[in-house]
Structure 1
Amino acid sequence: MHGVDTFELILALLALVIGLYWLALKLKLPPSAALLVGGGALAFAPGLPAISLDPELALVLFLPPLLMDGAYFTALGRFRQHLAGILSLAVGAVVFTTLVVGLVVHWILPQLPLAACFALGAIVSPPDAVSARAVLKGVSLPRRLTALLEGESLLNDATGLILVRFAVAATLSGVFHAGDAVTSFGIVAIGGVAVGVAVGLAWSFAVRYLRDRMLIVVATTALGWAAYLAGEAVHVSGVISTVAAGLVMGWNQHTLLSADVRLLGGSVWRITVFVLEALVFILIGFSLRGVIDRIGGIEAIPPPMVYAVIGVVLALTLARFVWVFGSEAILKIAHRAGLKTARPLGWRQSTILGWAGMRGVVTVAVPLTLPLDTPGRDLMLVCAFTVVFVTVVAQGSSLGWLVRRVRPVDTDPPARMDMPAAEAAMARARMEVVEKLAYGEDGELIHPMLLEEHRRRVEYVERYAQDAAAAMEKLRPHFDILLAAIAGSREELIRLHRAGHIEDEVLHELERDLDVEEMGITFQRGE
């Protein structure tokens, strides 16, 4: 395909993303499901070229920034608190699902080597970070459940990719040593953490000396790719390396980045992640055509393959529920035995956790990277797309409905302070600073208006902390007046510019001031 044609195709895909995303919002559907179905439907439209993306490029292009985004915004305190549960899902559940799916496929297709069956299980076993994030955006879940799902989605791709590597090697060589596999798994995982932390610390060091905010934003945006490629270069897990670097950056950015860099970088990052996330689902949908073409068309699918695909979907769905509720039973037994750290989720949260197993880009891309002579490669391709399609469309679309029906209860103890109390503490700290600086060295009050303004602010925030709802209800008319006043200032500013009374530079500077002021008021309104 010519370079200009490729560029035109990218623009067409972006237009398609906008249209499908808008349609999903209008129909109140998960955008990921709409993008996947829309891409799959349009893949067979007459006259459209076949779209294919190099699978290795897909992993490198899409996976690191989306993993980095998840790690950057991970609540690190809850991540550490629930690390045992996260590892149970990201490692234990993936390994268990791999074994169950492999045995089911070998039972349906006994002529397929067992190692190839386990390779298929490893491909479809890890829920996807992109799919999980896309679906969880519109769902309100208890904090512990959110921490488990987000933490799992960050780490389980690494488990799946490592298992695929071992299973494919055993398939092609006919040799497998469990002890060597476990040792290699540990080395790859620990090495990934070490590389990721090193890359994250290097970023922390670099941003101290990069004075220009554009350079800092670019360096921050590239960090995910740098960590992933560094991990892969030294033959450890690039996924774990990316996640570790993201956690380091997310922890340090509060003290290293200035306010303007955070605002600018946040805007750039949100747009980048939105485009990449949307394109992932569109391209997965378009890959359906390539999968069907590789096996000679839908009519060429033999019945045993159909049975195997159905068996894979049922096996991985049931395996996740078995693992979740089995772990829940163990926690209940341990809790009754007096182990205080063993806190069961309860059947409501366990049900949601069992159903939230959407697959995505890794599941589709990995089988395309396998050697052409890998036994069962066509089956792996068909199963991969079917699993992604079923889990994203069926589970993703119904997750919100299931949450409303099950109504999971947040069993985590609340934090010591809520947001109004934290705001009151911040206001008191600010007041202490103003009180010190409002007086001169001789004790004379030199900033009376500033002092009075902050005293009134502390009084209001104290009342707000006591009854946030009532205080906000009284303050909303105040905010409405301020926003109306800003709108009036903006109209006058534009009138002055259109009449030729002020220069463009003056327009941009004053407009930026109004934008910042309006954004601050909007945030205070809680919008």
Structure 2
Amino acid sequence: METVVSILIFLVAVVVSGSLSRLLPLPVPLPLVQIALGALITDVTSLGVTLDPEIFFLLFLPPLLFLDGWRIPKEGLFRDKGTILELALGLVVFTVVLVGFFVNWMIPAMPLAVAFALAAIVSPTDPIAVSALASRVPIPNRMMHILEGESLLNDASGLVCMRFAVAAALTGQFSLTQAFGTFLWLAIGGIAIGVGVTWIVTKVKYWIARLVGEDTGAQILISLLIPFGAYLLAEHFHCSGILAAVAAGITMSYVEQSGHILAITRVRRSTVWDTVQFTANGIIFVLLGEQLPEIVNGATRVVRETGHHDPIWLLVYILAINLALGVLRFAWVWLSLRFTLFRASRQGYPVKIQTMRVVSCVSLAGVRGTITLAGVLTLPLSMPDWSPFPARDLAICLAAGVIVISLIVAGVGLPPLLKGLELPPETSHREEEDHARIAAAEAAIRAIERGQHDLSQGRTDADLYTSAGSRIMALYRQRIEGRSKKGAEADLVKKTEEVERQLRLAGLRAERDELYRIARARKLSDETVRRLVREIDLQETRFSAS
């Protein structure tokens, strides 16, 4: 009963955090508000939540990584694959080695293997936190795509490095050759299992849907279970469950292009996954706040063991680690950008950009968040001989401090740096979109003509079908004509479409208001109101997103 009450309280805190973040006079990052609420819960209540690292890892990481892989723009991922790999793999290894030695030198009480584990944990970045911070000054699309791609891959590489470091801490042994072979097995096996699970599950559910029809609720539940299935199967075969979840998400984005599921399933499933993402991210930070007092007490004890009697050294350690991470990231991003510009100039594509501003923005955007927190909370509670895992509380406290400081620094520094920042423009997809819309409209006209002919065969009211088909085809022909124009005519069509969009939205809102007025007068059943309002909501969503 106490566990259920705790979960409900945490969920309420996640809900309240969103409203509080918007009500505050200054733009405070949402994760910081959630951490504060978690600390307040501990102060007011007597909840003492004990986290099992393995269960925590299983509950939160697979769905978050799966969703990242599912939704990340693949075109941007492949276009800037060189830059992304340099940041996601090279920078992670660079960070783990140098920051690991630095932490061990600064805090001798923390064993080198644990220092490497901490460095691996704080290496992944969180673009969700960055996009929330920069909501008032949007990040350029291409930069955001690079940050998203980096985050997707460095989640996996950082957590895999952490796994090796923890294993070394538990066994006291580390072999580079064995580690490389294990890494290949972890990576290749995890990716193969993630791809295989998603492909097999989707093929089976499509086959069942063809036989007995599609159940929207079942389809949504299957999508929620896939990342857990991929993760558990990979872990069973001692592969990387993290990479399996990422690979499952990427595979999902491709197999979904078959378009076999119903539109209503896609709409409802998207809403469910948005809720899962918001809830999982929020609960992780609320849990951090709830655990923070105990973590700080344990970390303070470890600091005293290092010979420092003043807990202020905790803040010194946190600031020093943040500074080291920032300097290393700045140096790596600068070298990576110079190399990218050099390759572009060699290929005859001279690019002029504000180098130092771009490097500074990408460096500050290296905010730590959900994955760092989830990873550090999975450090083992004890060694094989049941003695406490060395410096566990200190590592968790340092990682939490890195998250908080990186959020504050990015919140203060990013907006002024992003104002007026110019990057090379992304390839325009307007022409491709126009061709796609024309092709889709032509396919629709052909289908309507066939349907009109088939439905009106042998009927006395064939004129009704002809008239209805003509009206619908006229709308598609209007789209084809508008998208086929170029130059000034195309601009006029675009302006006309925007005016039509605004008028359609005004009409839809008026429809909904009138339906609610009729419902309040008890002249329409609740079921009918819900159905009609949902139709209007779907149309409004369509026109709002266009």
For normalisation by structure 2, the TM-score amounts to: 0.84
| Residue number among 84, 96, 120 corresponding to 1:86 in the alignment | 84
Deviation string, structure 1 residues 53-110 (Cα, Å, up to 9, x no partner): 2222221111111112211212222222223322222211111111221222233245
**Alpha-carbon separation, structure 2, partners of 1:398 and 1:70:** 26
Amino acid at match of 2:6: L
Superposed, 1:5-20 pairs within 5 Å as 5-20=2-17
1:428 paired with 2:442, answer: yes
Matched, 1:231 2:234: yes
CA distance in 2: counterparts of 1:243 and 1:60, whole angstroms: 14
Distance 1:74 1:494, change over 3 A: same
Number of the residue aligned with 1:459: 478
**Aligned residues of 1:59 and 1:362 also touching (Cα < 8 A):** no
1:211-232 per-position Cα deviation (integer Å, ceiling 9, x unaligned):
3221111111111211122222
Aligned with residue 508 of structure 1, among 514, 527, 530: 527
Q: Show structure 1 runs of 5+ residues with no match.
A: none
Give the CA deviation at 1:298.
10
Aligned twin of 1:286: 290
Q: Higher mean Cα deviation, 203-212 or 359-368? A: 359-368
- Which whole-Å CA distance do the structure 2 matches of 1:515 and 1:171 have between them? 55
> Counterparts in 2 of 1:361-440, with a 5 A limit?
361-368=370-377, 369-370=379-380, 371=382, 373-395=388-410, 397-398=411-412, 401-402=415-416, 404-405=418-419, 407-415=421-429, 417=431, 422-439=436-453
CA contact (8 A) 1:43 1:289 kept: no
Cα deviation code 1:270-300 (max 9, x no counterpart) = 2222212211111122221120232457995
SS of 1:240's equivalent? helix
Q: Which runs of 5+ in 2 are unaligned?
A: none
Partner residue in 1 for 2:194: 196
Structure 1 distance, partners of 2:264, 2:124, is 38
- In the alignment, the residues of structure 2 paired with residue 461 and residue 517 of structure 1 have an alpha-carbon distance, to the nearest angstrom, of 25
Deviates more, 1:165-174 or 1:191-200: 165-174
Residue number in structure 2 paired with 1:360: 369
What is the CA distance between 1:513 and its match in structure 2? Answer: 3.3
Q: 2:153 aligns with which of 152, 155, 158?
A: 155
2:507 and 2:347 map into 1 onto residues whose CA distance is 58
Task: Provide closer, same or farther for how the CA distance between residues 431 and 107 of structure 1 changes in structure 2, counting only shifts above 3 A.
Answer: same
The number of equivalent residue pairs is: 515
Q: 1:265 aligns with which of 249, 269, 277?
A: 269
Query: For residue 397 of structure 2, what is the amino acid of its counterpart?
Result: V
SS at match of 1:45: helix
Q: 1:463 to 1:239 in 2, by over 3 A?
A: same
Q: Deviations over 1:140-178 (max 9, x none)?
A: 333332222112222212222222222233345443322
Change (3 A) 1:127 1:526: closer
Decide whether aligned partners of structure 1 residues 339 and 285 sit closer, same or farther in structure 2, where only a CA change above 3 A counts: farther
Structure 1 contact 132–153 (Cα < 8 Å) conserved = no
Question: Helix, strand or coil for the counterpart of 1:242?
Answer: helix
Matches within 5 A, 1:68-87: 68-87=66-85
Would the alpha carbon gap of residues 475 and 112 (structure 1) be closer, same or farther in structure 2, given more than 3 Å must change?
closer
Question: Which of 487, 492, 510 does residue 518 from structure 2 map onto?
Answer: 492
C-alpha displacement at 1:200, in angstroms? 0.8
1:26 aligns with 2:23: yes
2:325 paired with 1:316: yes
Aligned counterparts of 1:106 and 1:296: Cα–Cα separation in 2: 17
Structure 1 position 45, deviation (Å)? 2.3
Q: Is the Cα–Cα contact under 8 Å of residues 365 and 414 in structure 2 kept in the other structure?
A: no
Is residue 45 of structure 1 aligned with residue 43 of structure 2?
yes
TM-score (norm 1): 0.86
Match of 1:277 in 2: 281
Using the TM superposition, name which of 196-205 and 294-303 deviates more.
294-303
Match of 1:97 in 2: 95
**Matching of residue 167 in structure 1 with residue 165 in structure 2:** yes
The 2-side partners of 1:490 and 1:366 are apart by 48
382-391 or 131-140, which deviates more: 131-140
Q: Distance in 2 between matches of 1:367 and 1:56?
A: 11
Q: Which whole-Å deviations, capped at 9, do the CAs of 1:340-378 have from their partners, x for residues lacking one?
A: 799999544433221112223443344442335444434
